[in-house]
Amino acid sequence: MNALKKYLGLVWIVLGPLAIHYLLQTASSEIAKKPGNDTMIQWGVFITVFYPIAIGFILFGLYALEGNYDHIPEKSAELVDYESKPL
């Protein structure tokens, strides 16, 4: 199962930049079709909202690839206190 998580981490890492590229490509073609303030504002909002989501895909994939999701705690006693652990 951990190998599957790491493989899917690679998928998320690739999916993030592809989503950004597709978003920017679609925005530029739609703005070129119908230039105007309303179209630019609409695509500006879309890019503003979905760009951080795509960055989150990449981070999620990196964390999965590093193995941060290998052990998922089932009880509260298994949780690690990150404030008391030195970096």
pLDDT value, residue 54: 93
What is the mean predicted confidence (pLDDT) over 23-32? 93
- Flag whether pLDDT at 55 surpasses 90: yes
Domain ranges of the chain: 2-67
pTM, to two decimals: 0.72
pLDDT value, residue 83: 60
C-alpha separations of 58 from 11, 41, 51 in Å: 9, 26, 11
User: What's the token pair of residue 86?
Assistant: 């030195």
